[in-house]
Structure 1
Amino acid sequence: MKTGDVLIYSCVIIGAGIGLTMDYLFPGVLIGLGAGYLLKYVWSGERKNKDT
């Protein structure tokens, strides 16, 4: 399992936990999923540098 995938899964679980505490499980999971993909994108270095 790749580290980027672990990052996405952990964000989904954290989002689900926060969603359960506020009685909105599914929106919490979706927010966690989106945050996980954003963090994976930022930390993986897949971005292209437009300055060079």
Structure 2
Amino acid sequence: MSDWHKSSYSNTGGQCVEVRETPAGADVRDTQNRDTATLSFPAAEWRALLDTER
């Protein structure tokens, strides 16, 4: 599994999310609550999100 990373677009105001890509898709978590919860997205949903943001 890959490492967690923040977007280069994240600001320094403390309201960031981190992402890690997995073979099944991607996991997302809040940088202020790393141990609380992680959202997991299947590969097709993650790709659809990325495609809409370009």
TM-score (ref. length: structure 2): 0.29
Give the structure, 1 or 2, with the largest relative contact order (CA under 8 Å, sep 6 or more).
1
The structure with more strand, counted as a fraction of residues: 2
The structure with more helix, counted as a fraction of residues: 1
